[in-house]
Amino acid sequence: MTDSKVTARVKGVRDDIVTIEVLTDAEGNYYPVVKNEVIHICPTRLGLDDRQEFLKAEVLRVRHGEADAQVFENTRGVAIGDSVEQTGHMLSVTLGPGLLGQVYDGLQNPLELIASQHGFFLPRGLEVDGIDQQQHWAFVPIVKVGSTVCAGDVIGSVQEGRFKHKIMAPFNLLGEAEVTWVQEGSFSVSTPVARIRSNGEDIEVSMQQSWPVRIPVCEPLLRSRSSQRHFPKEPLLTSIRLIDTFFPIARGGTACIPGPFGAGKTVLQSLISRFSEVDIVVIVACGERAGEVVETITEFPNMPDPKGGALMDRTVIICNTSSMPVAAREASIYTGITISEYYRQMGNNVLLIADSTSRWAQAMRETSGRLEEIPGEDAFPAYLDSSIRALYERAGLIENNHGDMGSLTLIGTVSPAGGNFEEPVTQSTLRTVKTFLGLSAERAYKRAYPAVDPLISWSRYLEQLSEWYQENLGEDWIGQVKEMHTLLRRSESVQQMMQVTGEEGVTLEDYITYHKGMCLDQVYLQQDAFDDVDVSTSMERQQRIFELLRDALSQQKNFPNKEAVREHYIKLTSLFRNLNYSREKSPDFKLYMTEIQHLKTEFD
Ligand code: ADP
């Protein structure tokens, strides 16, 4: 900030949009301003403690001699004629060791640090380093003087908690560079650890680098072909039966969870973050009510990690409440994605949960409105669809230059007003993602958790990953899953019929179908998040239970009457539920298995 100079002045202020008038240089040319550049508005009227404030803003639109910028702060007291300084760079995050375990706001200000220094709210116009600049990390180089590196190539590593954090050559490096100096030892993130010579220029490389959030980290690497994108090949196992068996999410894939309030969205998200087979979890809590965000940041750090240690050790949280400026809310998702991409580039499996993308889209709508852009459906900008698509496209599977495969799985939640799925954000999202886990208030009301409605949910990955399923769960797996899904559908339609006609109005055969479907729902789809065993079911166990259950449900039986049908399936359901609560190989587990086998011979 110190070496920047005044190159523009404030011309108008409309909420958090500031129009600036660009000044001309000695030759009479306008100073160049580009879209997405970060500028600082410096109000003439000084801040509380007579401090000169620098209000961070991002240029959204450039016209001849003028530009509109969204300010990430409250614009109170900004006046026409106030000076504007340009930074010459785009809205960026700092990437390096020390990100894990942090709770940030949308602009990567560490909230804990702010709270300890300034109380809960960051005074306006103050910026805090995204990663601790004092902490030392033991850097171990893997390159030597004379080695050749390209953008994104690993030059060494440090131990960040339980992770080997790879330090990579700058992602914007052009072509090949030669290492001319490298040092091993304990340094702060800003200390140079290597020097490389690229196109005749010496570049110092430290453990941190800055990257513009609106450009995917892998973009230059894919362009230069040092990284490659692959199609997702395997499911991201979550240990939630309903997801893994019926509506899988691919590792490196995309999914959407809509949640009417109280349908169990928070519990489901925390289950997915805790039990999914991923290395790192990034949570963007964007624009929720302050209370919910506080819940996330107070609960999360205390959660135990099934892999040992605390979950927070491998988590980064970005949060903005709806009371924070709209622009910061809009930026938070990009900050989260960029950090996720960074860890993916090292070869990690990363899960990003964006909650909620509706609030992000609303922030976009507000900004677009203030810019007086031509509105599309429901006053959302006409580019809503492409913005949503571009967001989800940042998920995926990437192979880096060293042959390491990293994945970024993106699960976004949407919160359609009044549960109306027809609204544009939900519609665009559904066109983009490949798994839809439709939480239903009705199921939550019946306490059928996870309250994902199997009749409205879908996943394209069952087919797309068919090779994986065939190899790992058998040739018939997908067919069997579909068969069980059909059973649910048929059971539901019998239930609807019975609501009109009563039990007497349906045939014995339909009555059996109804009970089979109920049994499948209760013992397999429903899973108790508050039981130590049932909370998480390995894929191996899922397969075993699924096959056992399917076997029990496909048998043709000679029931004498409906009473016998009901009793049989109630017994079966109860045995399977007990089985779900028993640890594998425990005496209980064996006992219930035997009883299930016995029950199978009933009414043969
Ligand atoms: P939302 O975030 O959609 O408002 P929550 O996730 O907070 O809803 O869930 C509301 C309540 O529902 C929880 O407090 C819990 O009692 C119950 N619940 C939600 N999901 C489950 C689950 N998988 N197993 C058991 N109970 C659940």
Q: What is the pLDDT of residues 493-521, one digit of tens each?
A: 999 999 999 999 999 999 999 999 999 99
| Neighbouring residues of 300: CB distance < 8 A, sequence distance ≥ 6 | 270, 283, 311, 312, 315, 317
- At CA 104, angle to CA 100 and CA 109, rounded to 5? 115
CA-nearest residue for atom 16, ligand 1, is 264
> Atom 5, ligand 1: which residue's CA is nearest?
264
Q: How high is the pLDDT of residue 2?
A: 44
Q: How many CB atoms lie within 10 A of CB 520?
A: 24
529 alpha carbon – ligand 1 mean position (Å)? 9
Structure tokens at 11: 């011309």
Kindly report whether the global pTM for this prediction surpasses the value 0.85. yes
Ligand 1 — pocket residues by CB below 6 A? 259, 261-267, 449-450, 528-530
Which residue has tokens 């797309």? 464
What is the number of the ligand 1 atom nearest to the C-alpha of 262? 4
User: How do residues 385-422 score in pLDDT, each as one tens digit?
Assistant: 999 999 999 999 999 999 999 999 999 999 887 778 88
Ligand 1 atom with minimal separation from the 269 CA: 6
pLDDT on residue 455 = 96
* CA–centroid distance, residue 267 to ligand 1 (Å): 5
Residue 12's beta-bridge partner residues? 19
In DSSP terms, 8 is beta-bridged to 22, 84
Give pLDDT, residue 121.
Answer: 61
Rounded to an integer, what distance in angstroms lies between the CA atom of residue 529 and that of residue 317? 22
Please give the Cα distance from 545 to 597 (Å, whole number).
13
> In terms of C-beta density within 10 A (0-12 exposed, 13-18 middle, 19 or more buried), how is residue 308 classed?
exposed
What number does the ligand 1 atom closest to the CA of 270 have?
A: 6
Name the residue of 267, 527, 577 whose CB sits within 8 Å of the most ligand 1 atoms, as the mutation to test its pocket.
267
* Distance between CA atoms of residues 503 and 508, nearest Å: 9
Please list the residues that pair with 283 across neighbouring strands. Answer: 317, 353
**Ligand 1 centre distance from Cα of residue 268 (Å):** 7
Pick the atom of ligand 1 nearest to 451's CA: 20
| Under 8 Å between Cβ of 276 and 249 | no
Low-confidence ranges of the chain (pLDDT < 50): 1-2
N-terminal to C-terminal alpha carbon distance within the chain: 82
pLDDT at 420: 83
Predicted confidence at residue 1, as pLDDT, reads 42
Atom of ligand 1 nearest to the CA of 271: 23
> What local confidence, expressed as pLDDT, does residue 117 receive?
76
The whole-number pLDDT of residue 345 equals 98
| Residue that is written with structure tokens 């941190």 in the block | 208
Q: What is the pLDDT of residue 120?
A: 59
- 418 C-alpha to center of ligand 1: Å? 19
Backbone angles phi, psi at 343, to 5 degrees: -70, -30
Q: How far is the CA of 262 from the centre of ligand 1 (A)?
A: 7
The two tokens of residue 76 are 């109170």
Query: Which residue's entry shows tokens 């990009």?
Result: 334
Rounded to the nearest angstrom, the distance between the alpha carbon of 265 and the centre of ligand 1 is 7
72 neighbors 56 (Cβ within 8 angstroms): yes
Q: Count other Cβ atoms within 10 Å, centred on residue 526.
A: 21
Closest residue by CA, ligand 1 atom 18: 264
Q: Hey, what are 446's tokens?
A: 């019946």
Contacts of residue 321, Cβ cutoff 8 Å, sequence gap at least 6: 287, 288, 289, 290, 293
